[in-house]
Amino acid sequence: MKPLKVGAVVLNQTPLDWDGNEMRIVAALAAAREDEVGLVCLPEMCITGYGCEDAFNGVDVVRQSERVLLELLPETRGLVACFGLPWLHHRGLFNAVAVAANGRLIGIVPKQHLAGDGIHYEPRWFKAWRKDVVTETRVGDQVVPLGDLLFELGGVRFGFEICEDAWVAERPGARLASYGLDVLLNPSASHFAFGKLEVRRRFVTEGSRAFGAAYVYSNLLGNEAGRAIYDGGSLIATGGDIIAQGPRLTLRDFELTSAVVDLAAARLARARTASFSPALTEHPGLVAGDHLWPVAGAPTTRIAPGAPWEESPYVKEEEFARAEALALFDYLRKSRSQGFTVSLSGGCDSSVVVTLVHLMVRRALEDLGVEGLRSRLRFLEPALTESTEQEITRRLLTTAYQGTANSSQVTRDAARAVAEACGAKHFELDVEPFVQSYTSAIAAALGRKVSWETDDLALQNVQARVRAPGIWLVANLENKLLLATSNRSEAAVGYATMDGDTCGGLSPLAGVDKAFLRQWLSWLETHGPSGLGPIPAVRAVTQQRSTPELRPAAAGQKSEDDLMPFPVLDRIERLAIRDKLAPTDVLDRLAADYPEVERERLSGWIERFFTLFCRNQWKRERLAPAFHLDDENLDPKTWCRFPILSGGYRRELREMRGER
């Protein structure tokens, strides 16, 4: 048997963007044909986009998907390709893959195991197909097989594990392998999360080893629908080794990764394996036909290394920088905004947001070049012909330091330094007159004096809220998207002013804890992303202790004094919310983690966390859309549901204190 060249495509698609999605698929198929790929795997739901949500229930979505599929068939001349789309059969909607060979549709394979946890809600829209069930369906004027299929074309047998199918114990690949499988294709929509790549690599390599087949994994790419980020990262494996690996978190429309696999060697190795138990009958869903595969070169035998930054000791910091840059860029262009606006306080969170936008511009120029950036952000065209990186950033990013009587020169200078280093257009606004105007008017209406002694929290909040109208006005005047700056640690305990620092149309840090953000900013000061380098100017921020500067300077306000040390807060959050431990159990774990801290003090921090977490669920419900970066987060719309009104753990906290 001759070697076969296989390809995996990652695509940056948009839900319901029929023309755009089709155009990118056509471009990817053209690249595969030029590369002389014989069998190409495209991502799950690549025709519709994966994140269509309840639009999947619309009849027209299914109709448009079929129309696009039929339009794509001529693009498969000389190729065998698969297209992800929803398919309606007997009034049930299925997450399916349509297989086309040389311009002709030859079968449709539905997904057998649906993703229904974390950010995935597939059982809300789709039905799971049962193994070994095979029937027929009509596509246009053609009737094709539908179900648990195995394909044999030109002597090559291939089948599918569709995303979640590979993450379960009873993987379809195991059964397909017993019927002489040569290539297993996995079209996926696997969202990005810190450290997830290694999990994918394991099921791909183990699949290729255990099933005795070449394994081809493709994925979506980019911020597809607003929250989830897809990192691409196609993989091709044989014999338990990765032989080709595509880039992750790029800003390009698609990436093609290919490799030549030696099917004869794989068949021989499987025949020699004592544990291999072949099926004694033919697969009930075998779809066979003639096909002339393109001539392939020598088999790819090397083990593919990851990108240099993926081997870095700072891989989480690198992933964060690249995932955020990709997500921000896609959100910007897909929302048709003309840039970003940030209320830059000179503290950690807002400085991280600003530097991420700066890194976004640098990554866009690195991946796309000036011409590619112009084609995606057309509003930049008049100013982009001779523009430098800093000039482009200035066009895309506006920042404003909004000072009150309690703001310090330290944060004012830090904000200016960060804005200048990143190339932002920067304003300094005095909002103290607005604070005084509001407090005076309300004091007159109430008929009493408003003072720090009696109205501490209200006076803190009014300063945060009075900053919102001005920065919103700037955003509206420039047709830019206002970025909120609150983080996950603050969201956990409500340490954020609604309609203040939570203002914005997008909250890029809401899924990331404060301790990591401070760590990342220190890394950016001294190291920075591979190929881009550090931003030393953020030293003006990293030298500070976190403070909201909402009380008079004499109060010496510090965030951790108001709450607790952020690493402790984050540890309590994981134990209480992720692990669902009761306060007493959290105390036992925390005492082991922090033996140097008095148990009574730890108990006080735990009580504060549980009380504030329950009290502030309504705030988390109101946060602007946030990027999903960590498979442990508090977003009630995608991950962590909690009642707005609850008992507040009062009995459990009494038990922790030893009270009856």
Given this model, what pLDDT does residue 556 score? Answer: 86
* Distance separating alpha carbons of residues 306 and 324, to the nearest angstrom: 20
Average pLDDT, whole number, for the chain? Answer: 95
pLDDT at position 108 over 80:
yes
Sequence spans of domains, the chain: 4-306, 311-562, 564-660
Q: Which helix (H) or strand (E) holds 161?
A: none
> Do residues 438 and 555 touch, judged by C-beta distance below 8 A?
no
Distance CA 381, CA 212 (A): 52
CB neighbour list of residue 414: distance below 8 Å, 6 or more residues apart: 346, 347, 351, 540, 541, 544
- Could you tell me the sign of the dihedral formed by the alpha carbons of 306, 308, 314, 316, in that order? negative
**Whether the predicted pLDDT of 660 surpasses 80:** no
Q: What is the dihedral of CA 428, 434, 435, 436, to 10 degrees?
A: 120
What mean pLDDT is predicted for residues 77-99? 97
Placement of tokens 């004091």 in the chain: 443
Residue 272 pLDDT grade (very low, low, confident, very high; cuts 50, 70, 90): confident
Residue 385 pLDDT level (bands cut at 50, 70, 90): low
Residue 269's nearest CA partner among 152, 182, 338 is 182
- Residue 56: pLDDT band (50, 70, 90) is very high
505-524 pLDDT tens trace:
999 999 999 999 999 999 99
Q: What is the pLDDT of residue 632?
A: 82
Mean pLDDT of the 100-128 span: 96
pLDDT band, very low/low/confident/very high, at 2 (cuts 50, 70, 90): confident
Q: Quick one: average pLDDT of 597-601?
A: 96
pLDDT score at 445: 97
| Range 97-121 average pLDDT | 96
- Start-to-end CA distance of the chain, whole Å, equals 76
Among 514, 390, 31, CA closest to 234? 31
* Amino acid 280: pLDDT: 83
Mean pLDDT of 428-439: 96
Lowest mean pLDDT: which of 77-91, 144-158, 273-287? 273-287
pLDDT at 383: 60
* Beta carbons within 8 Å of 576's beta carbon, 6+ residues apart: 583, 586, 606, 609, 610, 613
Summarize pLDDT for 450-498 with one digit per residue, the tens: 999 999 999 999 999 999 999 999 999 999 999 999 999 999 999 999 9
With cut-offs at 50, 70 and 90, classify the pLDDT of residue 382: low
Residue 597 phi, psi dihedral angles, 5° rounding:
-100, 135
Residue listed under structure tokens 């404060």: 514
d(CA 48, CA 51): 8
Range list of β-strands (E), 270-357: 286-289, 340-343
Out of 3.40.1160.10, 3.30.750.24, 3.40.1190.10, 3.40.50.620, select the CATH number for domain 311-562: 3.40.50.620
pLDDT band at 384 (very low <50, low <70, confident <90, very high): low
Q: How confident is the model at residue 275 (pLDDT cuts 50, 70, 90)?
A: confident
Q: What is the pLDDT confidence band of residue 547, given thresholds at 50, 70 and 90?
A: confident
- State phi, psi for 143 to the nearest 5 degrees: -105, 125
Residue 289: strand pairing partners: 153
Q: Which residues contact 166 (CB under 8 A, 6 or more apart)?
A: 173, 186, 188, 203, 204, 207
Over residues 180-193, the pLDDT tens digits come to: 999 999 999 999 99
The CATH class of 4-306 is alpha beta
Of 167-171, 548-552, 610-614, the poorest mean pLDDT is in 548-552
